[in-house]
Amino acid sequence: MSAAVDTSITPDASARRRKQSYWRIVLRQYRGNVLGIAAFLLLVLFGAVALFAPFIAAGAPFYLVMDGNTYVFPNILDYADLRGFQFDRWQPRENDVALWPPVPFDPNRSDLRNRLAPPDRVHWLGTDDRGRDVLSRLVWGSRVSISIGFVAVGISLAIGVVLGSIAGYYGGVIDSIILRLIEIVLTFPTFFLILAVIAFLPPSIYSIMIVIGLLGWTGIARLVRGEFLKLRDSDFCTAARASGLSDARIIFRHLLPNALTPVWVSATFGVAGAILVESSLSFLGFGPPPPTPSWGEILAQSQSYLHRGAWWLVVYPGLAIFVTVTAFNLVGEGLRDAMDPRLRQ
Amino acid sequence: MKAYLIRRLLLVIPTLIGITMILFCVIQLAPGSPVLLRLQKMQGAMGSESVPQEIIEQTQKLYGLDKPLPVQYALWVKRLVTLDFGTSYKDRRPVLDKIAEALPITLQLNLISIFLVYVISVPIGVYSATRPRSAPDAIITFFLFVLYSLPTFWVAMLLIFFLGGGQHLNWFPIYGISSLGADQMPWSQWLLDRLWHMALPLFCLTYAGLASISRFARAGLIDVVRQDYIRTARAYGFSERVVILKYALRNSLIPIITLIGTLLPSLLGGSVIIEQIFSIPGMGRLAFEAMLSRDYPVVMGILTTSALLTLVGLIISDILYAIVDPRIRFE
């Protein structure tokens, strides 16, 4: 029954058309924002680096001919006869071929003869206190940072959208209960609470994602609630209710798509915030357990070696965090400006 | 006003209950039970199996861990009300004493920082809001944006590297909040010494807040300037200075006053990192060390006090809001 009612009474089709053209307007607005475009391209690049990390920085070549055997992708596939083989001691023979990624170092392979080496032609960004290549660790660290950023915000989005839409749609007692909940979560110095919880949980990248996500939903919930308060008195909502649709269907199929616009901006800023929190946690030693490479963890190491002038341990990981966070913030800002009708040209 | 105050304070009750419940959940999260940790600490070894059953039972009784959850919760609330956070596992001192030592230092840093944030960011906001989309506005906006995205701990490390001895300039101390023997100094020298020690940490705490508050100040003023009463004021022929400073600014300040309440928790959280880097014996460092050594009562004590502090901050900012904006009182 609902399918027939849907198309005839609710303005689903026209809403979709309007939405499409709305996004086209946003896109057109965004295209004029040079800084925003640059930031977006940078993020795409960083995402690609994170995704293809084994082909950018690895301790094994991605194509290898050794002693007459051919190995394809030994950097990601497990070959029984290469297990434990140390490529850095390898003396290639005449017919051997090896195609290396641009950074031919494993992020976790330590080289104690090369501890704290300053940047040079071999180690482009130097090595850390165990002789591990900093650039390789930065490349693999981007996986940790970006995935924590997205998963944490995904969790926040799920909670914030559900609670916010319920609060805004039903109002009354339910609304005030959820508002209290938001106030309670806001009251905690989030970073303290995250630290405390992380300190008592077994260390893992997942617990960090979950805790950051569980504490970051309040802003999104408030936004969605505000939108729902406006939408629930609109004609199309009344029409949907009059045609006997269930509350869940009205909330998620009809109102939510119209309420999500400001949420995307908030989510973009949220990713930046989550990356900052993760790197702060790693900096304090509560990040993903070693030997997982993480930007904050490299920066934390530098604390002990600053007096020896190991500036590359401070500058590069910090720069990685800063550039990523700035790029996410710039994209968020650009989106907000592009969506703001008052700034439309 | 009285009715508003009463209503606002009544709303604190459910929030308080919620806070105690979240804190209680954090207790339950501890790996194993606090009892085992404590016993391991006493023996200095991993072998909790060797602990006599009798001792386990006694400690469990002390913490009420052998009781059903509701009773445990009631016990926890009772301790909260009397501010009895127990004694530290590490040095056996009452947690309340340790917090009482650390809190003034952190508050000092954070309150000065909040003050600086507002004193600097409101003029910046006014300056850029009165010339929107001009070159200076664009430069300021971009600069604030960069500040906003700079991770505090990175800035702190760079400052230490370049200004705090090391291999470059040696302008600022990077350890503690006063020199050795500062107690014997005359007060003017003491104050200078304190300020000198606080300069770098204060800078780090302040710059991020500065960026967000001045953005809010700018946006608020731009919104207000669009309103009809400002056009009226201009039509009366008041100078632009009077229009902005006397009529527009006051109303635009209302929303950023309420931000004080939300600034406090983020500053408290930020001080964990700053106090750790600069070795300042405040709440942040206390919390960090307690977490490292799994000093449970101290962690819970700090979490509770900081939540209560923030709640107080939120209430104060709500009351300020009601004072400056009469509409709130009659809502």
Q: What is the CATH number of the domain that holds A287?
A: 1.10.3720.10
Ranges in chain B annotated CATH 1.10.3720.10: 95-324
Is 0.80 surpassed by the pTM of this model? yes
Spatial separation of the C-alpha atoms in residues B285 and B291, rounded to whole Å: 10
> How many other C-beta atoms can be found within 10 angstroms of the C-beta atom of residue B330?
9
Touching A: B residues 79-108, CB under 8 Å: none
Residue that wins the pLDDT comparison between A174 and B215? A174
The tens digit of pLDDT for each residue in B216-240 reads: 888 888 888 888 999 999 999 998 8
In this structure, which topology does domain B95-324 adopt according to CATH? MetI-like fold (1.10.3720)
Residue A201, in any domain of the structure: yes
Q: Are B152 and B273 in contact (CB under 8 A)?
A: yes
User: A93 and A144: one domain?
Assistant: no
Query: φ and ψ at B277, to 5 degrees?
Result: -65, -45
Same domain, A154 and A277: yes
How many domains does chain A divide into?
A: 2
Range of the domain at A74: 60-100
Same domain, A95 and A143: no
Residue B151 near chain A (CB below 8 Å):
yes
Evaluate whether residue A89 is within a structural domain. Answer: yes
For residues A192 and A83, state if they share a domain: no
Collapsed DSSP state (helix, strand, coil) of residue A127:
strand
Q: Is the pLDDT of residue A20 over 70?
A: no
Residue B49 is predicted with a pLDDT of 42
A49: number of Cβ within 10 Å: 18
Of the ranges A103-112, A229-238, B65-74, B76-85, which is most confident?
A: A229-238
Query: Which position has the token pair 């003491």?
Result: B190
A176 within domain boundaries: yes
Residue A41 predicted with pLDDT over 90: yes
Are residues A90 and A145 both part of a single domain? no
What's the average model confidence in pLDDT over B257-272?
77
Task: Report the pLDDT averaged over residues A51-62.
Answer: 82
Residue for token digits 């007692």? A173
Rounded average pLDDT over A327-342: 82
Question: Tokens 């939108």 appear where?
Answer: A227
A with B: how many residue pairs have Cβ under 8 Å apart?
Answer: 135
In a domain, A332, yes or no: yes
Q: Which pLDDT belongs to residue A159?
A: 95
Chain A residues touching residue B26 (CB < 8 angstroms): 193, 196-197, 200
Which stretches does DSSP call E strand in chain A?
A: 63-66, 69-72, 97-99
∠ CA B103-B262-B329, nearest 5°, is 115
pLDDT of B29 above 70: no
Distances (CA, A) of B92 to A220, B26, B32, B39, B52: 43, 22, 21, 14, 22
pLDDT at B254 over 90: no
Higher-pLDDT residue of B109 and B61 is B109
For residue A156, what pLDDT is reported?
95
- Is residue B291 within 8 A of residue B299, CB to CB? The reply is yes
Query: What separation in angstroms does the CA of B75 have from each of B61, B81, B125?
Result: 11, 10, 49
User: Mean pLDDT, chain A, as a whole number?
Assistant: 82
Scanning the structure block, which residue is given the tokens 């994602």? A209
Contacts of A325 in chain B (CB under 8 A): 149, 151
Encoded tokens for A16: 């979709």
Quote the pLDDT of residue A16: 57
Q: Same structural domain for residues A289 and A175?
A: yes
Q: Which residue has the higher pLDDT, A17 or A308?
A: A308
- Is A42 domain-assigned? no
ipTM confidence score: 0.79
Q: What DSSP assignment string belongs to B7-20? A: HHHHTHHHHHHHHH
Shortest CB distance from A322 goes to which of B15, B150, B299? Answer: B150
Residue B119, pLDDT above cutoff 60: yes
The string of pLDDT tens digits covering residues B182-200 is 677 777 888 888 888 888 8
Final residue belonging to a domain, choices A85, A100, A115: A100
Summarize pLDDT for A282-291 with one digit per residue, the tens. 888 888 887 8
* A264, A202: one domain: yes
